[in-house]
Structure 1
Amino acid sequence: MRWDRFFDDLEGQLASEWEAERAALDTEAERLRLARVSLQERLSQLAGRDGAAPALSFDLSDGVTLRGAVTGVGADCVAILPAEGRPGAVVVPFAAIAGIGMPHHDLLRSARPAPARSALAERLTFGYVLRDLVRRRAGVAVHLRSGRALHGTVDRAGADHLDLALHDPGAPRRADAVTGHRIVPFASVSWVHVDGTAPLL
């Protein structure tokens, strides 16, 4: 009888140790997985269209806090539908994001394993979005890290900069309406507000 109890206790201890070791391995595997998760993947988990995405608070490099829903995620930027302010869409390079506020359940949801992204999504860079704006001839407000905003139309987008024709907000780009031109390095851009409602990514 005592030996039976002894072996039962021993079996219980081994089972407990096995469960503790398995839990430790699972925890370490999860730490390793999270170490490889990118901001792009986390934002992709929170993206949605037509109001399906949660409202997040983006603290940007120019000191602005922008509240809105993620509508698309590119290779190095995110498209946001602002919750307030002028109608239109916003594109923000990842490098200009100082922090993102969200409810705890969305924070946890964003850390879940993400499905594989398409090869096309991996090629949608900030420069690609700006070149699309050149094609659309959309009016923009380019908000710089310095806090200044430049209004106009993107004429050209290079590898690391854009050419902006300056004109009044909301006005079409006409030669007689243009008040000047600027070359703006991508590195100095905090965010770009685009007039209209067409999706950016």
Structure 2
Amino acid sequence: MAHELDGKKVAIMAADGVERCELEAPRGALYGAGAQADVISIHDGEIQARHWDFKEAGSFPVDKMVGEARVEDYDALFLPGGTMNPDQLRMNRDAVNWVRSFVETGKPVAALCHGPWTLVEADVVRGHRFTSWPSIRTDLRNAGAEVVDQEVCIDGQFTTSRSPMDLPAFCLAIVDQFAGQKTSVMA
């Protein structure tokens, strides 16, 4: 990875309770490939990070609030996990509408662990294949997605992974996908 994402701008939609490593490692991979990545949230200031949901793990500055961010300004969207983070996002009408509008552009979208919960709420998973943290797989199925248990799943514009343990493969996959290199679905 060197300059695959030069000139690309990625929206990272996150709220309080984001799993620290799930935001930090992919954002580092995006930066390393030359992308600009903005943390977009439902409030300004900082979002509080967690480690395995239970332990406080610092904070991340918010670059833009969802009401200020324009879908057309971004080339890709990344939804990190942590249980509390996507649970808050899916309860916020502006965040859900923003995510739905972004998906409608056809641009690449990546979600990790519990991150697909916001995609479920936006009603954009039907007919697509996803992987996720085990506890939200029923929600994905009920929303019409095909669920698989694999390290990285790529289906059209969507790239998903199960957990922080999948971060090395996930980071490589999102750089490829966001660069427009159509990698096949990985088993």
Name the TM-score class by shorter chain.
under 0.3
TM-score, length of structure 1 as denominator length? 0.24
Normalised TM-score (structure 2)? 0.25
Q: Where is the strand percentage greater, Structure 1 or Structure 2?
A: 1
